[in-house]
Structure 1
Amino acid sequence: MSPISRARRAALGASVVALTVVVATACGPENSDPVAAPTPAVTAGSTDKPGAAPIKLPSVDELKKWGFDDWDKWAQQNVITPAVKGYWDLQKILKAKPYKPGPGTQPTAQPTQPPAQPPGGGNDPQPKPVEMKPEPHPFAKPQHVNGKLFFQKGSDEYVCSGTVVSDPANPGKSNLVWTASHCLHGGKGGKYHTNITFAPAFNSSGALTGGKQGSLAQAEPYGEWGAVAGMISPQWAGEADPENGGPWSQYDFGILKVANPDGSGKSLEEVVGGSVPIWFNAPREQITSVTTYGYPAGKPFDGMELEHCEAGKPARRTIDPARPTMLMTGCNGTGGDSGGGWFATKDGKQVLVSDTSIGGFDNTWEAGPYLDDVAQHALDYFSKKSK
């Protein structure tokens, strides 16, 4: 798969269930126009809830003002299909394809008087290339928050990456995974992927390294945590061309709630031994260095290794000046590392500031969304409703 694919599609194939949190999951007509038509497709999916009024895709300015009730109305239009337990076996995982949107639309030059230019907006020169390096086996305990994400899109199976993040409403007991919207949903006119499953600390032991014929149990120290709910940005669901980067990439974030595979009440955070808090609206001048993580599966990588990139201070990449300017690094990751966490340091602690969204066709750079109020409000809503 070419670097145009940064997302990995993990699958879920189960019957649609109305969840405590009914989150953005596109189930509408494949060829409907979510922007023009006042139909459920406007929300990137038809409603499975009789009598629920469809929501019109908000403008960027409207989205920035959304409160709890707005996110609740958005969520009520959709349900996500819970992952089928046991769907993923080792052969499916090994054959799953990497996918990641390419650069698509060229970034716009910073206007002389930008109408809604966010702080730190504009474009910087492409950062110096930086090589991703495999995490030593076994992974250090703090890196167990990183994991491999599997999903199914139609009859095809894909892989992405994700991070266990702290849950504001459930401190110390998070079941939330942060990733990219494109790892969860097919974009404009599309649907939610199915059989979305998260495997934290995948291949920490090195059982599958270098072509080794390890078992699935050896490769998944904490098992497979199937998705039971999810949330994506309305702009991704209503605008996105999933194969290319564009203004929607500036809101390319997604959230999953997962379930313990052994059926117990022990949370993902408790099992893996930690979670990463998200630093929303991080002052750009204070993001002095980022380290990105993920499981790149496009050549020269094979998707079996947790790779990291010590990228230094991120540059700026703007596509639409009205939206938060993306963070950009010179990392050479490929498809499969989509959704992987970008870590910075705040008050001496590791925090998440972005996720891998798009990359260059030549694998010389990657960019991720800047997580502002919109992302924070989405998490706050999702956290409270998924208690």
Structure 2
Amino acid sequence: MRPTRPNSAARGGRGAHRRTSPVLAALGLTAALALTATACGPGGDDKADSKPTASATAGDDGLQIPDDIKDRLKKHGIDPDKWKNGEWKNWDKSKWLREAKDFVNPIIQDLWDPDRMRKAEKPPQKPVPNDISGDKGVTDPTPAPVKAKAQKAPYHQSLPELGKLFFDGPQGSMVCSATVVKDPAHPGKSNMVWTAGHCVHAGAKGGWYRNIAFVPSYNNDDMSLAQLRKATRQQIAPYGVFWADWAQTSQQWIQGGGPTGGQGAPYDFAVLHVTPEKGKGNKSLEETVGTALPVDFNAPAVPKIASMTANGYPAAPPYDGQKLYQCKDKPGRLSLDASTPTMYRLGCTMTGGSSGGGWIAAGADGKPALVSNTSIGPVTAGWLAGPRLGPEAKGVYDSVSNKYAGR
């Protein structure tokens, strides 16, 4: 299924269904630097008489961007001042960074203001046909639709790890869903977020999405659309806005992912490392929300799983992207091709925007764990499919954890 317009890209991993900072570290900084700027208008649109300034900081210590790093940014066609003043809207192929090593996501402060977050409703992916198997692999009968259940407010009480992902693509602002996951290198202090590959990278014919930001417990109090129009940023994002300073997805997604999943669907997953938009000392994302889910890369085979829950913020009709929903069902198998991993499939009426949302089941130790994420689903919104997380997914996860292990 599709998120409401998203991005993804990275190395080694598996993916499955689509729905719907210090970024300079991605360029080799030993310290995590965040490129910050000021957005000067609603939705981040700059006004002609505005003259925001840019600075490089690591938290609140005022660390400046070294000249060699500035030069490397410029080699990617990114001038810090021009970028924050609107150059990020240039989606010319030569400007759309594609390779795993090229990810950059400079923080533009207040770009994701309440109005822009509320209006971002486009998932990045297109729905798929109801019957997409036609393979020689293993596919179970299409599951009966399971009506998505609206979560009770405050969301943080029942699903504190869940949140909404915002990003920009050539067609405008988009949305997906995402989950806070544990970081082996920083027990109890994770800054890692799990989502779908198509929520960070456009796949075979595109590159990395821009302005990727995670909002845990988005609209925590379950406000109506009318109430959200008058809500403050604190009310909409009570735990803050966290920008991705690094993103990684599977090479299979980068090479084979498409608008409806394509050959990259079984590898449609991504891991982000995030940093708070506005300095909050040394407090991690996990400490901020109070928890993080472990990831199970060796979940039981389908016949042994009693149930899974898919979670997300569906944005395509009949939903509006502002509220958190959940589907619970016994998973089946979906094989797109005998040569690629079999995906999980659940009956669920969630639509685009729920893409990337975590699928939770009992892990090997019997405790709740993330075992997949929403990747694809049909326009009829009767089912969702997600990748089965194996060695490729673990490779992406470990790579992000190791990248920040000494920081």
Cα distance in 1 for residues equivalent to 2:23 and 2:182? 27
Cα distance in 2 for residues equivalent to 1:138 and 1:166? 22
State the one-letter code of the partner of 1:317: L
Deviations 1:309-364 (A, max 9, x none): 112x1110011222221100110111110000000013342100100000011111
Secondary structure of 1:197's partner?
A: strand
Q: Tell whether 2:293 aligns with 1:267.
A: no
Give TM-score, length-normalised by structure 2. 0.74
Q: Tell whether 2:136 aligns with 1:110.
A: yes
Which residue is equivalent to 2:249? 232
1:19 Cα deviation from its structure 2 partner: 2.5
Cα distance in 2 for residues equivalent to 1:49 and 1:110? 48
Deviations 1:25-70 (A, max 9, x none): xxxxxxxxxxxxxxxxxxxxxx9799xxxxxxxxxxxxxxxxxxxx
Cα distance in 2 for residues equivalent to 1:166 and 1:321? 32
Q: How does 1:214-293 map to 2 (within 5 A)?
A: 214-241=231-258, 243-263=259-279, 264-284=281-301, 285-293=303-311
Judge conservation of contact 2:121–2:320 (CA < 8 Å) in 1.
no
Which residue is equivalent to 1:37? none
Which residue is equivalent to 2:333? 316
Q: How does 1:186-197 map to 2 (within 5 A)?
A: 186-197=202-213
State the one-letter code of the partner of 1:278: V
Cα distance in 1 for residues equivalent to 2:162 and 2:344? 20
Secondary structure of 1:383's partner?
A: helix
Q: How does 1:49-64 map to 2 (within 5 A)?
A: none
State the one-letter code of the partner of 2:210: T
Q: Which one of the candidate residues 307, 326, 332 is aligned to 2:343? A: 326
State the one-letter code of the partner of 1:327: Y
Which residue is equivalent to 1:5? 2
Cα distance in 1 for residues equivalent to 2:188 and 2:126? 34
Cα distance in 1 for residues equivalent to 2:196 and 2:175? 12
State the one-letter code of the partner of 1:254: A
Secondary structure of 2:24's partner?
A: coil
Q: How does 1:61-140 map to 2 (within 5 A)?
A: 75=100, 77-99=101-123, 100-103=125-128, 106-110=132-136, 122-140=138-156
Give TM-score, length-normalised by structure 1. 0.77
Judge conservation of contact 1:21–1:386 (CA < 8 Å) in 2.
no
Q: Tell whether 2:361 aligns with 1:344.
A: yes
1:246 Cα deviation from its structure 2 partner: 2.1
Sort the Cα spacing of 1:18 and 1:204 in 2 relative to 1 into closer, same or farther, 3 A.
Answer: closer
Secondary structure of 1:98's partner?
A: coil
1:20 Cα deviation from its structure 2 partner: 6.7
Judge conservation of contact 2:4–2:316 (CA < 8 Å) in 1.
no
Which residue is equivalent to 1:211? 226
Give unmatched runs, 5+ long, in structure 1.
23-46, 51-73, 112-121
Sort the Cα spacing of 1:289 and 1:19 in 2 relative to 1 into closer, same or farther, 3 A.
Answer: same
Judge conservation of contact 1:279–1:351 (CA < 8 Å) in 2.
yes
1:188 Cα deviation from its structure 2 partner: 1.1
Judge conservation of contact 1:6–1:358 (CA < 8 Å) in 2.
no
Deviations 1:295-315 (A, max 9, x none): 00111111111111112x111
Judge conservation of contact 2:2–2:351 (CA < 8 Å) in 1.
yes
Sort the Cα spacing of 1:262 and 1:89 in 2 relative to 1 into closer, same or farther, 3 A.
Answer: closer
RMSD after superposition = 2.4
Aligned length: 321
Judge conservation of contact 2:7–2:198 (CA < 8 Å) in 1.
no
Q: Which one of the candidate residues 164, 183, 194 is aligned to 1:148? A: 164
Which residue is equivalent to 1:171? 187
Cα distance in 2 for residues equivalent to 1:81 and 1:91? 21
Cα distance in 2 for residues equivalent to 1:262 and 1:245? 35
1:240 Cα deviation from its structure 2 partner: 1.6
